[in-house]
Amino acid sequence: MSQAPAILSNHPKGLVERTDFFRVDATRKLDPIRRTTLGQFLTPPPVARLMASMFKKRREHIKLLDAGAGVGVLTAAFVEEMTRRKNKPASVSVTAFEIDPLLTEYLTETLALCRVECEKAGIKFHAEIVCEDFIESAVNQLNATLFTPTASKFNCTVLNPPYRKINSDSRTRQLLRTVDIETSNLYTAFVALAARLLDSDSELVAITPRSFCNGPYFKPGRRLPR
Ligand SMILES: C[S@@+](CC[C@H](N)C(=O)[O-])C[C@H]1O[C@@H](n2cnc3c(N)ncnc32)[C@H](O)[C@@H]1O
């Protein structure tokens, strides 16, 4: 990772702009083939902020899932939004899944900046980076708790999932079938799994193509099993 300029720790425009330095720096370094395979198209600040503003419910304790977190701009926008609210949460706990170690380096820095902002606002902050395949990890978790349900881990999730077809005979597809998810694209798999990891009074904000809403192609994906 390139050295972040000192100004980043105190950028007048806020946390999201500071994180945007990471987005630009990381995008320069991403391998083009890997970028397509992993759907590494990182969200620009205005979109991240719009998404954060869509979380409406005031919660005392927030447990946020960011699956396919990239450099962490969605979490940064979420944290910025919470720290600016009049009625702030008491705590924010983030679990960020990101499979690419190049991006988790930046993500670590983003979460450190989030911690500083939360501390300034009097919000307790906890963060965990999981550098694993989100599909595999979520499926394992759902299967493990099938007969012994434990308390749900998350009450908010923010996603810009990777968009890529999944072959019908692939391991990913087989894993998804073990939790009754039948879908042909990674993005619907991410949304379905994230929804399953939420408790009943939760909020999910995701970037998805419009094709999710109509037509037969994503019909199984729209019927999310609980
Ligand atoms: C569309 S990008 C969005 C990144 C970030 N959320 C943002 O909004 O800028 C999708 C991200 O998911 C990651 N990813 C792809 N497949 C993954 C998997 N199976 N498990 C975890 N992360 C994955 C990619 O490396 C990439 O960073």
Per-residue pLDDT tens, the chain, 226 aa: give them.
Answer: 655 555 455 555 789 998 999 999 999 999 999 999 899 999 999 999 999 999 999 999 999 999 999 999 999 999 999 999 999 999 999 999 999 999 999 999 999 999 999 999 999 999 999 999 999 999 999 998 766 666 568 999 999 999 999 999 999 999 999 999 999 899 999 999 999 999 989 999 999 987 766 666 666 656 665 5
Residue nearest to atom 6 of ligand 1 (CA): 69
Report the relative pairing of strands 61-67 and 124-130 from DSSP bridges: unpaired
Q: What is the pTM of this model?
A: 0.92
Atom of ligand 1 nearest to the CA of 158: 6
Atom of ligand 1 nearest to the CA of 69: 6
Other CB atoms within 10 A of residue 2 CB: 12
Q: From the CA of 105, how far away is ligand 1's center (Å)? A: 14
Q: What is the dihedral of CA 114, 35, 66, 169, to 10 degrees?
A: -160
Residues with CB under 6 A from ligand 1: 38-43, 68-70, 73-74, 97-100, 103, 133-135, 160, 162
